[in-house]
Amino acid sequence: MSTIILGIESSCDDTSAAVIKDGYILSNYIANQDVHKAYGGVVPELASRAHQQNIIPVVDQALKTAGVRKEEVSAVAFTRGPGLLGSLLVGTSFAKSFALAMDIPLVEVNHLQAHILVHFIKQFEKENKQPEFPFLCLLVSGGHTQIVVVKDYLDMQIIGQTIDDAAGEAFDKCAKVIGLPYPGGPVIDKNAKLGNKEAFTFNKPKIKDLDYSFSGLKTSFLYFIRDEMKKDADFVKNNMNDLCASIQYTIIDILMEKLVLASKQTGIKQIAVAGGVSANSGLRNTFIQEAKKNGWETFIPEFKFTTDNAAMIGITGYYKYQNKEFAAQDIAPVARFVY
Ligand code: KG4
Ligand code: ZN
């Protein structure tokens, strides 16, 4: 008999539902929240309200597109955390009610594990190459930056992580400094394609082992812009593409240096990337170049699976369902998740 998982994601500002059947994606529907654009960042209170409005239509659409009736769903998987508590509560409450009403198991999912497991989502139209265990994954999102040893679908070990800001945060905060809209990552990426990455240099942090730090870079970028603007009020306007290219290059350089070190230390040469920042074209290109240099076999997710989506929650739910790892009705979401 087939296993059909309804995945629900509501950790930040995207409301998403997906249907996964025996590991194959049938649908993945995402409602983005434009309401935050005017504020230059996600406003938690507005995010929860928008989730509340979006959740039913999004689930409806995901089931319809998949051609699946709610009576056919084997289990409902939801993001338990990490994320914004008010946002998580909407998805969690919906999933609990759905499980209760349909009398099916409830599966809690760690959002970060889910980002990594996108590499196992199967698609009917195309067979994608899947990594073998153990592999390394550079997980780069708006909230997290980690190097993870993936020993099995649900057995992961973090061997390096940021001690302050995440890489996505660095993109978004630097973008804000030069007046770009939220989220800044994709806009920096677009402008960077037209700029010179060596136009400006920024100091890289000196952090031990496999850990990262991005808060110093953001501050030095801020001070640099402030000083240049004192000399030339049009500095940002006249150097926009070069600034984007240079800051993007520095962030990628910081990320890659530790990833290369992690591969050397562990001897693992199957390397994956995941998370919103893995949509970055500069990062994707550098990753391929590093792979050639270091003899890596690489795994890069399709764009639609890089940023937050429920297909990743569905696939993680699918593996947990197979292990019969079910959650109780009294489960609560968590803003921080430690595995
Ligand atoms: O994984 P994600 O959708 O949400 C979190 O779990 O945080 O990641 C969102 C982050 C944002 O910081 C956004 O600016 C960044 O991913 N991002 C990018 C690109 N697309 C999204 N950063 C750089 N280049 C991109 N093309
Ligand atoms: Zn995410």
Going from N- to C-terminal start, the domains of the chain cover 4-127+308-322, 135-304
Query: If you average pLDDT over residues 43-64, what whole number do you get?
Result: 94
> Tell me, what amino acid is at 253?
D
Distance 328 CA to ligand 1 centre (A): 32
Tokens of 162: 């940021």
Ligand 1 atom nearest residue 168's Cα: 12
What pLDDT is attached to residue 173?
Answer: 96
Residue with tokens 């994709």: 186
Q: What is the pLDDT of residues 94-125, one digit of tens each?
A: 999 999 999 999 999 999 999 999 999 999 98
Compute the distance from residue 167 Cα to the ligand 1 centre, in Å: 9
* CA-nearest residue, atom 24 of ligand 1: 280
Chain mean pLDDT for the chain: 96
For ligand 1, atom 23, which residue shows the shortest CA distance?
A: 185
Cα atoms in the Cβ-side hemisphere of radius 13 Å centred on 124: 7
Q: Give distance in angstroms: CA of 171 to centre of ligand 1.
A: 8
Helical H segments across the chain, by residue range: 44-66, 85-102, 111-117, 167-177, 184-192, 215-231, 235-266, 281-294, 311-322
Residues touching ligand 1 (Cβ under 6 Å) are: 12, 141-143, 168, 171-172, 183-186, 189, 275-277, 279-280, 307-308
- Output the DSSP codes for 149-203: EEEETTEEEEEEEBSS--HHHHHHHHHHHTTPPSSHHHHHHHHHTTS-TTSS--P
Residue 156 corresponds to which tokens in the numbers above?
């992961």
Q: Which residue has the tokens 């996964």?
A: 20
Report domain 4-127+308-322's class: alpha beta
Pair 93, 124: CB distance under 8 Å: no
pLDDT tens profile 18-48: 999 999 999 999 998 887 777 778 888 899 9
Fold of 135-304: Nucleotidyltransferase; domain 5 (3.30.420)
Cα separation, 306 vs 82, in Å, equals 17
CA 306, 67, 126: angle at the middle one, nearest 5? Answer: 45
| For range 188-205, the mean pLDDT | 96
Q: How far apart are the first and last CA of the chain?
A: 32
CA pair distance 69, 78, nearest whole angstrom: 19
| pLDDT tens digits for range 126-152 | 888 899 999 999 999 999 999 999 999
Ligand 1 midpoint to CA 276 (Å): 3
**Nearest C-alpha to atom 20 of ligand 1 is from which residue?**
186
> Mean pLDDT across the stretch 182-194?
97
pLDDT at 52: 95
Residue type, 266: T
Q: Are strands 24-32 and 14-21 parallel, antiparallel or unpaired?
A: antiparallel
Nearest Cα residue to atom 14 of ligand 1: 185
Ligand 1, atom nearest to 142 Cα: 7
**From ligand 2's centre to the CA of 297, what distance in Å?**
24
The pick from 172, 277, 312 for probing ligand 1's pocket by mutation, whose C-beta has the most ligand atoms within 8 angstroms, reads 277
9 alpha carbon – ligand 2 mean position (Å): 9
